[in-house]
Amino acid sequence: MKHLVSPLSAAIVAALAVTTASTAYAASPEYKIALIAGKTGVLESYAKETETGFMMGLEYLTGGKMEVNGRKLKVIVKDDQGKPDLGRALLAEAYGDDKADIAVGTTSSGSALAMLPVAQEYKKVLIVEPAAADAITGEKWNRYIFRTGRSSMQDALAAASTLKAGSVGFLTQDYSFGRDAIKAAREALAATGSKAQVIHEEYAPVATADFTAPSQRLFDALKDKPQPRILQIVWAGPNPMNKIADLKPERYGIILSPGGNILPVMKTWKNFAGTEGTIYYYYGFPKNKMNDWLVAEHIKRFKAPPDMFTAGGMAAAGAVIAALQKAPGAETEKLVAAMEGMSFETPKGTMAFRKEDHQALQPMYHFRIKKDQKDEWDLLELVREIPASDLPLPVRNKR
C-alpha cells in the first residue's frame, strides 16, 4: 500500500531539510587556521616567539574564549624547518588535507616566497608573518597574500631616516632576506634624502662563524671615507656584532649599527651604550592596552618581557580575528574584500593593510642602547617613534 504525501507535507519536509542544512552550516564547529613556522633550524627562536604571540593574541582578542562568531578556533601548527620545499608542501597540506580557512607563516623569507604560489593555486588567504623579503609584497605577490610583518624596505626606510650623511658599509647574509635588505637600504637612503654614501657590501653565508675576512674588507673600504663611518649589520639569527667589535673597528673610526634584534641578543650589547639603531618593536615603546596586556601577561607566564617576534605573532592574530569578524563565512573572496584596506589592532597600535599590495603599514622605532640598565631586560631607550607616514614605502607589485 502506498503512502501519499500531500503537497503541504512535502513542502514542510523540504523546508525542514533546508533549515537543517543551514543550521548545520551555521553551527560549523570551528575555524581552522594553519600556522607555519621554522621551529627547527637557525631561526627557531623567532618561530617560537611568533607562535607564542599568535596564541596569546587569539586569547586576548577573544576574551579567552578562543572563538569568533560562535565558532571555535582550531590552530594547526606546522614546522617547515626553514626549508622552502617543505614550506610549500606543508601549506598545500594545510589548505588541501586540513581544510584550513586561513594560513599564517612563515619565518624564513626563502620558505615564504616558495609558499606564495600555493596560496594562489588553492585560492586561499596567506598572512605572511614574519618573513621580510620585499618580493613577498613585490614581484612575487598575488592577491591572496597579506603581510602583517614589516618588509625589508620598511626596515631600510626607518634606518635611513637616522643616517643624514657620511659613509655606510653593509654586512648581511647571502640569501633572499639579506639581498633584499641591502637593495632596500640603498633605495631608502635616496628616498629619505640622505647624503650618506654606500661604500661597500659584504654577503656572508648564513652559517658564518668567523667574520674576520668580511669585516676586514669592510674596514678597508670605509677607513678613509667621510665620517661618520657606519658599519650596518643586517642579520637574521644570532647577531655577529660582538664578534665584529672584537676586531676593533674603532681603530678606523668605524661605528657599528646593529639594527634591532631579539632580547637575548641585545642583552649582550651592554658595552655599546649610546649606539643607535632602529627596530620593529621593543616591549617598552608602544603605549596601548594590547601591548600593556601582552607585556604584563608575558612576564607573568614566562618571567621575561615579550620580544619583537612575539609582537609580530600577536599582530597576525589581530588580522585573523578582524578578517573573520568582517567575513564570518570565511569564504576566500569575501575575506580578500574585507582585508583590503582593513585596520586591525596590534601591540604596536593600529595597523592597516594597504589596498594596493596588502602590506601592513606600521610605525618603527629609533632607539639608543641604554647606559644605565636597571635590570637584564632594560636595554633600550626611545629616541623617536617613526610613524608610518614618515616611511615612503613604494608599491612594487604588478596588480
Q: What is the pLDDT of residue 359?
A: 98
Q: What is the pLDDT of residue 23?
A: 41
User: Which residue shows C-alpha cell 657606519?
Assistant: 230
Computed over every residue of the chain, the mean pLDDT equals 91
Mean pLDDT across the stretch 225-243?
A: 88
Instruction: Enumerate the β-bridge partners of residue 104.
Output: 35, 127
- Nearest CA to 350 out of 338, 359, 363 is that of 363
Mean pLDDT across the stretch 46-70?
A: 97
What one-letter code names the amino acid at 84? Answer: P
Q: What is the pLDDT of residue 12?
A: 42
- 30-150+286-362 to CATH, choices 1.10.260.40, 3.30.70.870, 3.40.50.2300, 3.30.390.30: 3.40.50.2300
Enumerate the H helices of the chain as residue ranges: 7-26, 44-61, 84-96, 109-122, 152-160, 176-191, 212-222, 241-245, 263-266, 289-302, 308-326, 332-339
Q: What is the pLDDT of residue 28?
A: 60
- Nearest CA to 316 out of 283, 360, 364, 355 is that of 360
pLDDT for residue 244 is more than 60: yes
Mean pLDDT across the stretch 10-17?
A: 43
CA dist 341 and 350 (Å) reads 12
Q: What is the pLDDT of residue 361?
A: 98
Grade residue 257 by pLDDT with cuts at 50, 70 and 90: confident
Sheet containing 67-68: order of strands: 67-68, 71-79, 30-37, 102-104, 125-128, 145-147
Q: What is the pLDDT of residue 41?
A: 87
Grade residue 67 by pLDDT with cuts at 50, 70 and 90: very high
Q: Are strands 30-37 and 67-68 parallel, antiparallel or unpaired?
A: unpaired
For the stretch 102-127, pLDDT in tens is: 999 999 999 999 999 999 999 999 99
Mean pLDDT across the stretch 58-70?
A: 97
Mean pLDDT across the stretch 128-147?
A: 96
- Nearest CA to 346 out of 370, 305, 317, 376 is that of 317
Sign of CA dihedral 389, 377, 204, 206: negative
Instruction: Enumerate the β-bridge partners of residue 130.
Output: none
- For the chain, the straight-line distance linking the first and the last C-alpha, in angstroms and rounded, comes to 66
CATH of domain 153-278+365-390: 3.40.50.2300
Global confidence as pTM: 0.86
3-state secondary structure of 366: strand
- Nearest CA to 60 out of 335, 390, 294, 280 is that of 294
Does 153-278+365-390 match 30-150+286-362 at the fold level?
yes
Mean pLDDT across the stretch 297-303?
A: 98
Grade residue 11 by pLDDT with cuts at 50, 70 and 90: very low
For the stretch 178-214, pLDDT in tens is: 888 898 899 999 998 899 999 999 999 988 999 999 9
Instruction: Enumerate the β-bridge partners of residue 201.
Output: 170
Q: What is the pLDDT of residue 140?
A: 97
Percentage with pLDDT > 90 across the chain: 79
Mean pLDDT across the stretch 143-147?
A: 98
pLDDT for residue 2 is more than 70: no
pLDDT for residue 252 is more than 80: yes
Q: Among 240-244, 281-285, 366-370, which stretch is predicted with the lowest mean pLDDT?
A: 240-244
Mean pLDDT across the stretch 170-181?
A: 88
Angle at 75 between CA 73 and CA 79, to 5 degrees: 175
What one-letter code names the amino acid at 245? Answer: A
Q: Among 22-26, 334-338, 347-351, which stretch is predicted with the lowest mean pLDDT?
A: 22-26
pLDDT for residue 56 is more than 80: yes
Q: Count the Cβ atoms, other than its own, within 10 Å of residue 139.
A: 10
CA dist 360 and 379 (Å) reads 27
CA dist 337 and 317 (Å) reads 18
Mean pLDDT across the stretch 288-304?
A: 98
Q: What is the pLDDT of residue 21?
A: 39
- For the chain, the structural domain boundaries read 30-150+286-362, 153-278+365-390
- DSSP codes, 155-207: HHHHHHTT--SSEEEEEEESSHHHHHHHHHHHHHHHHTT---EEEEEEEE-TT
pLDDT for residue 9 is more than 60: no
